[in-house]
A and B are shown apart, each in its own frame.
Chain A
Amino acid sequence: MKLLKGRGFKHSGIFALLLFIIILIVLVLVFSQQILSNISKLSSSANLIALLVAIIFPLILLIVILYNIINLIRERTQKKPGVHLKIKLVLFFALIAFLASGPQALLSINFIKSSINFWLKAGIGDALRGGLSISLDYYQSKVDNLKMFNKSRAIPMLFNGITKNPDSVWENIRNINPEISFVQIYNDEGNEVFFRGDKNGKLKDFAAVHNRTGILPKVEKQDISILRSIGKHTIDGKTYTVIAGIILPAYFNKNASNLTNSLETFNQLNKYNRLFIYAVSIFYFLFTLPILLLVILLSFILTDELLRPIVDLENATRRVAEGDFSFRILSRSEDELAILISSFNKMIGELSTSREKLVHAEKIAAWQDIAQRLAHEIRNPLTPIKLSAQRILKKYKSNPEDLKNILENSVTAIVNEVDNLDKLLKEFREFAKLPNPHPVMVNVKEVVEEIAGMFRSLGESITIETNGISDKITVKADPAQIKQIFSNLFRNAIQSIDESMRTQGVISVIADIVKKEDIQYCRIQIRDNGSGIDEEYKDKIFNPYFTTKKQGTGLGLSIVERIVFDHNGHIWFESKKGVGTTFFIDLPHGEING
């Protein structure tokens, strides 16, 4: 039994591709994270590489897909099984992928666009700018306050007695200017003589600031900011350095930087908003395109895998339809298709056995028919033989002298009938007991021409055309039997043409080599322009003793069929009433001479 291999799903290919898609998605995510966080650090060569990858990778994919499409078109012109379904499935997959990604891209980009626009229009810019100007004003007021304090003419008076009664001095300062957080005073020699207020404001390194005046740069310490102003003042005749300071609240610093950062972002967004959406669209496209292409590629592979069992099934069905019941499909997968395939195999098995039974029954019926006909045919001459014998006996008994008169007639009749019987039995034996073929290489053209010559010498006025046979075509066959085939078929062809029309009759013989499932056959066609075969007789003409002719035996085609089968060949015919009949014979091809 031949087994048609139904390849199981080639999972590895699909898995590899799926893995590829997943890796690509991860890469996209990582890459986008990376570039978004520090794009400025990427060198322009890295930029170039990224762009090249973004172009080359999809290009390679595109080429592979194009190759697949060309393949598909070629398969279509070759009418390979399953190709239409394949095209449909691929188109369907591509459409689904496109439908899934296209609107999503539009939606995402639109969403980004409208949310950006929403934020830009919601008055956030004004709020940020307002907030910034308020905080700047607040800060400026502190700075001005400190400046004013250190320029104030009242300082020498205010600090009178810093050594004797520092606490009351501090109290006075606080009363006059409650915003001051601390005051630190150094003498000429750089020694601290006074400190009151928030300890955080205490300056440790006087040398660094000793010859500066005015506002010092703001100092940030942990989460507070310290503003200091320095002034030189003469108190009680001596010069002192007065450092007054304000400690800004813990959150000020953080909020201020948040505010400036937000404003920076906002301004950038405002300025680059269109460009940004444009860039996002391009990015989206660059990252989606390869994924889309991969999906299409996947659809090609998947379709192949999906269709394979169906194609196998189609193949097998076709072979069964051609009469080859020995096929079974192997399937390793365990899905619904496997069930389908196993029931197909079962069906073919049952079909095959029932066909065998039918053939057997037909054979028996045919033999019964033959037996009946044979009995009938034998019986027909028996009656005249019996009658003649009885007549002789009767004459002999009643009038022996008269015997002479009828003896010759009767015995001649008996001999004739026995001859007839002999002929019948001879032909029957020819049919029933064909000798085993002794095949040798036979040149088809030579055989056909020999038989044609024989018919011509018998005075048939028909044309036998043999130009359609290549000189070199040979078959491995029994020469006598192959001659019998042509002789029987030619005779039938001639008989199918009305006697008055014989001169216009043409029998043409064509022979060529065909290939079926790796085996070479010689296909011989015998075409006539005779009466054709009635539709109702078409499935009977090969039956033994089936004939539509008065003098026919009905054994001609049976013999031809037997010989063809004995040579492992195949015979069938096409016929159209009133147009003609063509018999096709496939015989295993020997080899081409020369």
Chain B
Amino acid sequence: MLIILFVGSFALFAEQLNISTSVKAERIIVNVSLDLEDYSNALKTIRSGLKSELFFEFRLYKKQHGIISLLGDRLVREEKVLYTGYYNMYDKYYILKRNNSSEVVFKNSDDFLRNFFSLKGYNLEYSFLSTADEYYLLCRVKYIPVKLVSPLNIVNFFTNSENITTKWEKITVETK
């Protein structure tokens, strides 16, 4: 039984975060994609031999009731997915690294961009998900067009004018 419970579409400035979740058995399946108004700069950066990064951050909360709710809702789980995308000039293909381990190679730039800016079918496993409780998921995406090498990365401490961090988007997860 797969029920699509929520399809959120949140307008940001020039970029848009699309999230959909579904609950199947004892897991939450998340699809996230970041739509940019213009991908040409993103591509140009990668083609010039620089590396780009994309962080997907997830936080699953359990709603609290009564007096403890004053302390805020309980953070059940926090997960992060890191994409690193770069271009191989010799063999002329794009590489998408996930969490610094698995690698996928793309010949076509459109394929690469579509895959780089979206996370499909991400599995948050929660065997303890109980129908009695209410859960919600917070998600945000951080896009870093240029992954700076050390020590240049101290620049990140003071400016992220090029980096894009979306707001936390809240998705109610219904377990019924």
Contact = CB atoms under 8 A, between A and B. Distances in A.
A256 B153 CA distance: 24
Interface string B148-161: 11111111111100
A534 B158 CA distance: 81
B156 A39 contact: yes
A279 B158 CA distance: 7
Contacts of A50: 157
Contact of A279 (B144, B146, B154): B154
B105 A260 contact: no
Most chain B CB within 10 A, of A217, A218, A269, A275, is at A275
A278 interface: yes
A40 B156 contact: yes
Interface in B41-72: 48-51, 53
Contact of A136 (B89, B152, B153, B155): B89
Nearest to A43: B57
A37 B150 contact: yes
A271 B161 CA distance: 14
Contacts of A280: 154
A40 B53 contact: yes
B154 A35 contact: yes
A194 B155 CA distance: 57
B105 A283 contact: no
A210 B2 CA distance: 38
B147 interface: yes
Contact of A217 (B91, B150, B152): B91
A39 B148 CA distance: 9
Contacts of A35: 153-154, 157
B89 A279 contact: no
Contacts of B128: none
A354 B91 CA distance: 104
A256 B90 contact: yes
A47 B157 contact: yes
A135 B48 CA distance: 16
Nearest to A47: B157
Interface string B112-130: 0000000000000000000
B158 A36 contact: no
A37 B154 CA distance: 10
Interface string B129-144: 0000000000000001
Nearest to B149: A265
B34 to A, nearest CB: 17
A217 B94 CA distance: 12
Contacts of B49: 260, 263-264, 267
Contacts of A278: 158
A279 B157 contact: yes
Contacts of B152: 265, 268-269, 272, 276
A268 B89 contact: no
A264 B150 CA distance: 12
A283 B150 CA distance: 15
A226 to B, nearest CB: 12
Interface string A279-290: 110110000000
B154 A268 contact: no
Contact of B90 (A37, A218, A264, A272): A218
Nearest to B91: A218
A139 interface: yes
B90 A136 contact: yes
B165 interface: yes
Interface in A3-54: 35-37, 39-40, 44, 47, 50
Nearest to B158: A279
Contacts of B89: 132, 136, 260
A256 B93 CA distance: 15
A267 B154 contact: no
B154 A36 contact: yes
Contact of A276 (B50, B51, B147, B155): B155
A36 B90 contact: no
Interface string B75-112: 00000000000000111010000000000010000000
A267 B90 CA distance: 18
A272 B158 CA distance: 12
A264 B148 CA distance: 9
Contacts of B154: 35-36, 39, 276, 279-280, 283
A375 B160 CA distance: 109
Contacts of A39: 148, 150, 153-154, 156-157
Given A39-B157, A267-B48, 10 more contacts: A35-B157, A37-B150, A39-B153, A40-B147, A264-B49, A268-B50, A268-B148, A276-B152, A276-B154, A279-B157
Interface of A: 35-37, 39-40, 44, 47, 50, 132, 135-136, 139, 217-218, 256, 260, 263-265, 267-269, 271-272, 275-276, 278-280, 282-283
Interface of B: 48-51, 53, 89-91, 93, 105, 144, 146-159, 165
6 smallest CB-CB distances across A and B, nearest first, come from A39-B153, A36-B150, A36-B151, A279-B154, A275-B155, A279-B155
5 contacts: A35-B157, A40-B148, A256-B90, A267-B48, A272-B148
